[in-house]
Structure 1
Amino acid sequence: MVEKNEQATVENEEVTVEGTEEATETVVEEVVEEVSAEQQKISELEAKLEESENRLLRLQADFDNFRRRTRLDQEAAQKYRAQNLVTDILPALDNFERALKVEAEDEQIKTFLQGMEMVHRQLVEALQTEGLEAISAVGQAFDPHQHQAVMQVEEGEGESNTVLEEFQKGYKLKDRIIRPAMVKVKQ
């Protein structure tokens, strides 16, 4: 009987060991699954963090570009603030110059022309203060950025592609062409 009890105890221990091994395997599998799930969550969170960091860097770069563009626009607006006024005044300046070319024989007209010449000079000086300068044309090589050719002739002195005569003055404000000079060019 003792033998039977010992045998039953051994069988119970075998069943207990087998049950323990199965339980251990189950627990290990559950732990591995939980660790895998946690690692997957960590990977997802790292991906989201990297995406957020990239978005933040892009936003910072966009903001820096916006600030730079705004600053450049403000500098250009300040530099060329007088452009509209100068453009509106140029026809009056042209008329002044045409009027000053009139030959006067009467003393009153000469005095009047001297007054007009003084006003013209003051107007030109004020515009030069703002950065306006006349484009030199006669005798220069034709430059399509500064000159507008309204005539081409084959005869005349000078080399080919040279400005022979200026019909209307051209002007630039600082480094920007406001109006190209209308010229006659030798072919």
Structure 2
Amino acid sequence: MSKEQEDQNKHADQQEQAEQKEQDQEQEMADVMEGQILEDQEAADEESVEAAHKAEIADLNNRLLRVQADYDNFRRRSRDEKESAAKYRAQGFVEELLPALDNFERALSVKPEGEEAKSLAQGLNMVYNQLQEALKKEGVTVIETVGEAFDPHLHQAVMQVEEEGFESNQVVEELQKGYKLKDRVLRPSMVKVNA
């Protein structure tokens, strides 16, 4: 082999080595870039996952707050219902008793004649007073009427009259007693109202 061939071979080897080195560098650069892209993608994925977790946590916190508020409202409503039930527990019984009270009052309005009738009236009056006391202990009160200003929440106007000595819209006469249980109207008073 001649020197020229050797130089050509050497030159070809060097050129091949340079190309191989260049290819290695390009491959190394591609690997580095691919690694960087993977790292960036992993970081983005981690940020995306972290953002999704934060959003899920915020959603769960909102749900928890709503459930807590609903539970607090439920407890308050339950407590109010229990208090109301205890406060007005006698309502049904008292409403059933009101017609009997009306009949007692009608019976007591009759003037008795004779000793026996007076004695019977006195006994009826005692029973009526006991009933009134028992109702008072339960919180039942009679609605005031005559001379009071007409209140549609407390009074039921069945007649309108014109009488002197009374102002306009003032109750003139009570036709049937009305009753309240604490602050709840059981039965409005039936009244005549001045025009």
Q: Shorter-chain-normalised TM-score: which range?
A: over 0.9
Mapped to 1, the partners of 2:39 and 2:46 lie a distance apart of 10
- 1:19 and 2:27 aligned: yes
Give distance in 2, aligned partners of 1:130 and 1:63. 33
Q: Which residue of 1 aligns with 2:114?
A: 106
How far has the Cα of 1:105 moved from its partner? 1.4
TM-score, normalised via structure 1 length: 0.95
Write out per-residue CA displacement over residues 130-180 of structure 1, whole angstroms, 9 at most, x where no aligned residue: 000101100111111111000001233211111110000111011111111
Of the three residues 124, 127, 134, the one matched with 1:126 is 134
CA distance in 1, matches of 2:165, 2:85: 43
1:38 deviates by: 2.1
Counterpart amino acid of 2:141? E
**Cα offset, 1:3, TM superposition:** 5.8
Of 37-46 and 99-108, the range deviating more from structure 2: 37-46
* Counterpart Cα distance in 1 of 2:72 and 2:130: 44
Local SS of the residue matching 2:153: coil
The match for 1:161 is: 169
1:48 corresponds to: 56
Match among 38, 44, 63 for residue 46 of structure 2? 38
**Given residue 166 of structure 1, which amino acid in structure 2 is its aligned partner?**
E
2:188 to 168, 173, 180: 180
CA deviations on 1:15-65 (whole Å, 9 max, x unpaired) are: 211111111111211221222222212222221121111111111111110
1:177 aligns to what SS in structure 2?
Answer: strand
Q: What is residue 94 of structure 1 aligned with on the other side?
A: 102
Contact (CA 8 Å) 1:171, 1:180: kept in 2 or not?
A: yes
Contact 1:156/1:164 (8 A) holds in 2 = no
Question: Structure 1 regions of 5+ residues with no counterpart?
Answer: none
- 2:17 and 2:176 map into 1 onto residues whose CA distance is 123
Identity %: 50
Query: Partners in 2 of 1:11 and 1:173 — Cα distance?
Result: 106
Alpha-carbon shift at residue 8 of structure 1 (Å):
3.7
What does 1:133-172 correspond to in 2, within 5 Å? 133-172=141-180
Matched AA of 2:57: L
For 1:48, give the aligned amino acid.
Answer: E
Select the structure of larger CA radius of gyration. Answer: 2
- Structure 2, unaligned runs of 5 or more: 1-6
Q: Which moved more, 1:72-81 or 1:156-165?
A: 156-165
RMSD: 1.4
Report the CA distance between 1:7 and its aligned residue.
4.1
